[in-house]
Amino acid sequence: MLPSWLPLYYDEPLEIVSGSGRRVTDAQGRSYLDFFGGVLTNMLGYDIPEVREAIERQLRTGVVHTSTLYLIRAQVELAEKIARLSGIPDPRVFFTTSGSEANEAALMFATNYRRSNQILAIRNSYHGRTYATMGITGNRGWSASGLSPLNVSYLHSGDRLRGLLAGLDDERHIEAAAADLREVVATTTSGTVAALIAEPMQGVGGFVHGPDGLFSAYRKVLDEYGVLFISDEVQTGWGRTGEHFWGYQAHGIVPDLLTFAKGIGNGLALAGVVGRAEIVESVQGISFSTFGGNPLSTAGGNAVLDYLLAHDLQANAREVGRLLRDGLDEAVRRYPIVGDVRGRGLMLAVEFVQPGGTEPNGYATTRVFEECRRGGLLVGKGGLYGNALRIGPPLTLSAEEAREGLEILTTAIAAVDR
Ligand code: PMP
């Protein structure tokens, strides 16, 4: 019997009762290899002793409440590490409990600093489920259109299969996207745009990204008009994309603000924003969050970050990601329902289309998703048309586990493609 008092995402939800390494076990005792990590949240895998011990140590101090009122050693240490890693000059860190709140805070800092509520966002983007973040979310399925407290304009997205920028080579893609931005900035009604917010790779949107260097072309236009750039690194941060620690680094720029969440807590509620001091401190009085950066989350977050760096998981994401990518590329050639394979590192998507065409095939996607689950593999679904399978395993995934998952996935695709 399903609990009708809870909002359920899937028709047949899975009750997960335990996890170890890259595997979880459900209430019926079935084991699954996890290629999604609860939406890229489980960055290190399950039951990591170093993380468990750090949380237990904090728990034993008796101090588990936050607050911006007191100094919490774990919070101070984590802020320093993240500030240094951020690449942002003269950085300040503000902790929140979720990615939505982190983006809310970034919007608050940017709009206040620029004295404007005009925000630019990207079509098909996802930035959260709070009032303002829904308003800047370009994916209509997830936003409450018309209700935004902000004045938002959307730029064309990096979808290579559809839309205005489809089919362009990298250089022309960048030129067209920068021209689109210029037109929007130059013709805004307010005359002052606060910021552009963008995901280096659209997460919920189905792991879509524009060409490297796109943000640097954006940056040139933004700088002319004094517009800030916010990089939403909620999914792309912490080395997930393999090539870089932050997604923005693929573009040779540094943002004014970046937001982080998901993986850094390895499941604990931990998120935040890093921004240039001048921008963050433009907000009068201290920014406050009762639970943001709470002792348990930040104790865990320190252990997660130390582990990630000590084991160079970014390099693992790059290497194991390449192995997965090669296997998936093979599937495009073999199965006509696979229209596109994209992404980088351990953030990869397979898009399903009507055989041989570009029409989205949500039905095939759901069936492959279900076949994977039957075969013992958890993946995610997403994309604007619900026709992309998303792969975002813990960054500790081994080559052997990658091959095992690939085998289940290709068997599932073959079963549906018949
Ligand atoms: N930004 C991005 C890019 C996200 O993917 C998400 C969550 N899917 C959010 C923000 C919102 O994060 P949260 O669900 O923690 O509020």
Output the domain CATH number for residue 355: 3.90.1150.10
Nearest residue (CA) to ligand 1, atom 7: 128
Do residues 299 and 55 make contact, with C-beta atoms less than 8 angstroms apart?
Answer: yes
65 Cα to the center of ligand 1, angstroms: 24
**What is the model's pLDDT at position 13?**
84
**What is the model's pLDDT at position 144?**
67
Domain interval for residue 363: 16-34+312-417
- If asked whether residues 74 and 160 sit together in one domain, one would say yes
pLDDT confidence tier of residue 48, bands split at 50, 70 and 90? very high
271 Cα to the center of ligand 1, angstroms: 10
Percent of the chain with pLDDT over 70: 99
- From the number of C-beta atoms within 10 Å of its C-beta (0-12, 13-18, 19+), residue 14 rates as middle
What is the pTM assigned to this prediction? 0.97
- If asked whether residues 215 and 82 sit together in one domain, one would say yes
69 Cα to the center of ligand 1, angstroms: 27
- If asked whether residues 302 and 345 sit together in one domain, one would say no
Structural domains in the chain (count):
2
Calculate mean pLDDT across residues 168-196: 92
Residues whose beta carbon lies within 6 Å of some atom of ligand 1: 39, 98-100, 103, 126-128, 199, 203-204, 232, 234-235, 261, 271
Residue of 107, 127, 264 to test ligand 1 pocket, by largest number of atoms within 8 Å of CB: 127
Mean pLDDT for the chain overall:
93
Give the span between the Cα atoms of 405 and 140, in whole angstroms. Answer: 32
ipTM: 0.99
**What is the model's pLDDT at position 146?**
60
**What is the model's pLDDT at position 98?**
97
345 Cα to the center of ligand 1, angstroms: 19
262, 293, 310: which is the final residue of a domain? Answer: 310
Residues comprising the chain, all counted: 418
Report yes or no on 235 lying in a domain.
yes
In tens, the pLDDT along 183-201 reads 999 988 778 999 999 999 9
Residue 374 has pLDDT above 70, yes or no: yes
DSSP code of residue 181: H
Give the span between the Cα atoms of 354 and 352, in whole angstroms. Answer: 7
